[in-house]
Chain A
Amino acid sequence: MLGELVAGAAEGLVLVEDTVDCEGRSLLQSFVAAAACRGECVHVFGFEVSEEEFRGCLDPRAAPHRVQYHDSFHDPLGWSGVGLEALGAQESWFQGLRGTPGGAVTVVVDSLSWILLRQPSPAVCQALAGARVQRMLVLLHADLHPPGLLGVLRSLARVVVALASTSQGLGVGRGSLHLASVFQRMRAGKVVTKKEYYTLQPGFPPMSVEEPRGPMSPPRDDDTMAHPGTWLTFDPRAQLTFNPGVSVEQRQVRDAMPLPFHFSPCKKLSVLDQGGQIYYEPDPGDDLDDEDPDDDLDV
């Protein structure tokens, strides 16, 4: 996934978070190199390293004029007093950001931490959100900022790449293995997260590598522990003296049986009364007499 992002799938604000253990400038340089190879216009705002050092890792065969470097490393406070640089690095960054043409332009900020430590964060975030460029790549040193600010920047960004070093000890230098946690916000509101290991050669896109299985890595747990609770696998039928099962014919007969409160029409007919007749059969002790005993009274 990291390779695809470098190859151009990343859009909007891309946040690369690095730490003291694992630096992210080389990833930034590979992004720039890939963008320059694709023929896009790249504007780099450099605050922490000089232009030569940044360009040193770029492929000299790629057209260098496509990568435009705004240097604020040599004169951050604008003491030389020439034009835009007279404002100082931070204000010139805001101006430069507003001045970049929109469209298929990649803006790289190396690094955003430098600006955030000197400018109020709401203004910086508003400037980041207001930039109308296709891709904006910022490097952030995650160790330098409080977690609240990191959370805010992550919520603003479309893609977040958090870098960490691996403790495998597979050699130092550019070829070593790093872990990248990529979080990407897709168009339709979906969110994709992925963790992958990668190695980086200078000037080339990162190569993702599968997780290394060193001698210190934890064993795979294919052999699961035996279930301590066995009540779910307990088979009660083994202990019974009768057969609780239902055969297919018995089930059919049972389904065909009418239920007590489901009235079929013939059952309704038999149950509901047809008229108002009372049928009475006299008991042996009954004395049925048609005469009215009140007639005997002499009133």
Chain B
Amino acid sequence: MAALATGGATRRGIAPSFRRAGEPGLAALPGTRPSLRRGQLLLSSGVPSLDAVLGGGLAVGTLLLIEEDKYGIYSNLLFKYFLAEGIVSGHHLFVASAKEDPADILKELPAPLLDDIYKNEVNEEETVFKSKESQDYMKIAWRYQNLPKMEASPAASSRFGHYYDVSKTLSPELLQSTKWHRFFLPEEISLQPNINICNMTSGYTRLLQSIQRIIYQEGFDGSHPQKKQKNILRIGIQNLGSVLWGEDICCTDNPEDIHSLTKFLYILRSLLRMSLSACIITVPAHLIQNKAIMERVTNLSDTVVGLESFIGSERETNPLYKDYHGLIHIHQIPQLNSLICDVSDTKDLAFRLKRKLFTIERLHLPPDLSDTVSRSSKQDLAESAKLLSSGCGAMAMGKKHLDF
């Protein structure tokens, strides 16, 4: 369905005079843009730097799996960014959780940043940065200073990715104008205590039935062609595979039904492929005891991103990692309509959360020094990292008596 639609969109791009009468065109879907490389329709995941790492965005009809960090803080944040992006772009939402009430989740979504506020913030940060570094600033005789800066600042209206302010929550008016659906497992169990379990954990069965019902009723799979405006459904499932969904893969090595989660993902992905939707799932991968399950789950998902936060670990105090809050591992990027996927060559990515920005950057680790220099103390590591990672200018300036 999604492939047909994108085929239509590209065809229209080549020969605009052959516009079919009456069809609004899928390129006009809010909050989406066609991929430059493969003709897929892409959605923003809510974090522009994550979009860049994933190759432009999340394709419609695919599944984004996030392996949670140890305390679930940053994975929850990515989950909220995804939902907030859906609200700002005008998509429909489906929020499922077994731990928190979906209404509480939606109340805590971060507020989007407007254009001028973001530009002011960026300029402020730049001036602070410049004043700190003016004595280290070295004039170089190159022309690059005169060139305009290549900045990934958000474009004007109808842009693709938005920035969010974590300290503020979404305004209630914006929430009310959104159409969203909920699934809260304890509520569903209390409403319908007995359900015939079709060889899967009952929580998963209910969730799949609920998703299928919403997709059919709201016409995301094209079953109501008289609907005037097509829209995207963003599905968010929090903490799938944890104990609260009624399954024990996190508790023991030999769970009762080892294939429950994999069956769920298989059926969910078929539901996603046949509708205009995208799904984000957070899984507590560090708690799952049987590693084979995570391998299967990774194979059954499209995009898999793992988060590793530095909280509580010895890396928190390591000066090498002091600018960052954690590492991000891209385990899998899907190969949709192509033979290869564009995996970036760098595997060391780290993320940093500032109040208004969640950035993913390359982690610059210092190179291995020669044998004669001992690296046993962290002091040496930090010194060498400082010298090498900030470039030639600072290297000359780092030790002031070497200035010439």
Q: Which residues of A are interface residues toward B (Cβ below 8 A)?
A: 120-123, 125-126, 129-130, 146, 148-149, 151-152, 155-156, 185, 189, 191, 193, 227-229, 231-232, 235-237, 244-246, 255, 259-262
Identify which of B243, B253, B373, B383 contacts A125 (C-beta below 8 A).
B243
Distance (whole angstroms) from the CB of A177 to the closest CB of chain B: 25
Alpha-carbon distance A156/B403, docked complex (angstroms) = 56
Cβ 8 A contact of A261, one of B71, B142, B247, B311: B142
Q: Fill in one digit per residue for B331-353: 1 if any A CB lies within 8 Å of its CB, else 0.
A: 00000000000000000000000
* CB pair B251 A232 closer than 8 Å: no
Interface SS of chain A? mixed
Most buried by A among B244, B373, B401: B244
CB distance from B395 to the nearest CB of A (A): 13
Is B9 an interface residue when CB atoms closer than 8 A count as contact? no
Contact B402 A191 (CB under 8 A): no
B312 & A193 in contact (Cβ 8 Å cutoff): yes
B354 to chain A, nearest CB (A): 14
> In the complex, what distance in Å separates the CA atom of A235 from the CA atom of B251?
59
* Partner among A122, A123, A246 whose Cβ is within 8 Å of the Cβ of B403: A246
* A152-B243, A229-B373 known; A120 vs B248 contact (CB < 8 Å): yes
The 0/1 profile, CB within 8 Å of A marked 1, for residues 378-404 of chain B is: 001001000000000000000001111
Known: A228-B374, A229-B374. A155 touches B72 (CB 8 A): yes
Q: Are A245 and B251 in touch, CB under 8 angstroms? A: no
- The residue on B at minimum CB distance from A150 is B251
CB distance from B371 to the nearest CB of A (A): 11
Are B242 and A236 closer than 8 Å at their CB atoms? no
Contact pattern, B 309-332, Cβ under 8 Å of A = 1, otherwise 0: 001100000000000000000000
Contact of B251 among A146, A191, A237, A244 (CB under 8 A): A146
Q: Closest Cβ of chain A: how far from B135's Cβ, in Å?
A: 11
B20 within 8 A of A: no
A262 to B247, CA, bound (A): 68
Q: Which residues on the B side are within 8 Å of A185 (C-beta)?
A: 71
B contact residues around A246 at 8 Å (CB): 403-404
For A146, give its contact among B243, B253, B377 (CB under 8 Å): B253
| C-alpha spacing A9/B251, complex, angstroms | 29
Q: How far is the CA of A260 from the CA of B140 in the complex (A)?
A: 10
Query: Which of A155, A189, A228 interacts with B287 by CB under 8 Å?
Result: A155
**Cβ < 8 Å to A, chain B residues 281-302:** 284, 286-287, 289
How far, in angstroms, from A20 to B333 measured CA to CA in the complex? 47
Cβ–Cβ < 8 Å partners of A122 in chain B: 243-248, 251
A259 CA to B242 CA, complexed, in Å: 63
| In the complex, chain B residues whose CB is within 8 Å of the CB of A189 | 73, 76-77
Known: A189-B76, A255-B139, A260-B141. A245 touches B284 (CB 8 A): no
Are A232 and B380 also in contact (CB < 8 A) when A155-B72, A189-B76 are? yes
Q: Does B250 contact A (CB under 8 A)?
A: yes
Q: How far is the CA of A102 from the CA of B385 in the complex (A)?
A: 54
Question: Which residues of chain B from 108 to 151 have a CB within 8 Å of any chain A CB?
Answer: 139, 141-143, 146
Residues in A whose Cβ lies below 8 Å from that of B246: 122-123, 126
Q: Are B287 and A126 closer than 8 Å at their CB atoms?
A: no
How many angstroms between the C-alpha atoms of A227 and B377 in the bound complex? 9
The answer to whether A151 touches B250 (Cβ under 8 A) is yes
Q: Is there an interface contact between A245 and B403, defined as CB atoms closer than 8 Å?
A: yes
CB neighbours of B219 from chain A (8 A): none
Can you list 21 A-B pairs with a CB-CB distance of less than 8 A?
A: A122-B243, A122-B244, A125-B244, A126-B243, A126-B244, A130-B186, A146-B253, A148-B251, A149-B252, A151-B287, A152-B250, A191-B73, A191-B312, A231-B373, A232-B380, A244-B404, A246-B403, A246-B404, A259-B141, A261-B143, A262-B146
Which residues of chain A have C-beta atoms less than 8 A from B284's C-beta? 155
- Any chain A CB within 8 A of the CB of B179? no
The CA of A237 and the CA of B287, in the complex, are separated in Å by 57
> Given A148-B250, A232-B380: A129 and B244 within 8 A (CB)?
yes
A-B pairs with the 8 shortest C-beta distances? Answer: A244-B404, A125-B243, A148-B289, A259-B141, A189-B73, A149-B251, A121-B251, A261-B143
